[in-house]
A and B are shown apart, each in its own frame.
Chain A
Amino acid sequence: KNEVEQSPQNLTAQEGEFITINCSYSVGISALHWLQQHPGGGIVSLFMLSSGKKKHGRLIATINIQEKHSSLHITASHPRDSAVYICAVSGGETSGSRLTFGEGTQLTVNP
């Protein structure tokens, strides 16, 4: 079992829909990261959070430390949101600051 599990693996939505991607982890962490990998391969850090909730534009990330679970929400989705969304954790006792990644969620938003 991977230390970081994401669901779903693939997600197809219509433009305007509200999207949720889930991430569960099984190790102690200091922070959880959400990343976006564009179709061209580049990786952008969207959020780093250790508690509560963060919002940036149409993106919202939440984390529940007790349940070891995080969600990434996209409101009013748009075709340009199509990308792979990756959950990663860091700051564990044995892992230090390096990132441990989930397998990613391929999101496709159709017009």
Chain B
Amino acid sequence: NAGVMQNPRHLVRRRGQEARLRCSPMKGHSHVYWYRQLPEEGLKFMVYLQKENIIDESGMPKERFSAEFPKEGPSILRIQQVVRGDSAAYFCASSPLSQLALTDTQYFGPGTRLTVL
């Protein structure tokens, strides 16, 4: 059973370009979370999605950032017009999260290290 997959593992962009980060959850998991780890800082929540729905985007910057989790295919975190401050490690996590559970173990992907030049 493959774990959570993220690609690319490393991404270099110049200021003003777009970055697309992909996350394929574990088989059977329909809940995806994106977290960001800025250099020398702790992990911070960005967005929580279920298939075709954004459940909680309270951690997303208001501009330039968007996320989706389509019915088919991976979840995508998109950053438009990247700036140097977007350089960070972006982690995706998935969980099965039953309807009765308020919380469940989250399984993390290896992360995408974004560097903005």
Contacts and interface: CB of A to CB of B under 8 A. Distances in A.
Given A41-B110, A41-B111, A97 B104 contact: yes
B56 interface: yes
Contacts of B59: 98
B69 interface: no
Interface stretch (B16-24, B74-82, B89-97): B89-97
Contact of B42 (A90, A96, A97, A104): A104
A91 B42 contact: no
A11 B73 CA distance: 42
A interface secondary structure, majority:
strand
A85 interface: no
A7 interface: no
Interface residues of B, number: 27
Given A33-B106, A86-B43, A98-B48, A42 B56 contact: no
A31 B31 CA distance: 17
Given A45-B105, A45-B108, A91-B102, A98 B42 contact: no
A101 B105 contact: no
B33 A44 contact: no
A27 interface: no
Interface in A58-111: 86, 88, 90-91, 96-104
Most chain A CB within a 10 A radius of its CB, from B44, B97, B103, B104: B103
A30 interface: yes
Interface of A: 30-31, 33, 35, 41-45, 48, 86, 88, 90-91, 96-104
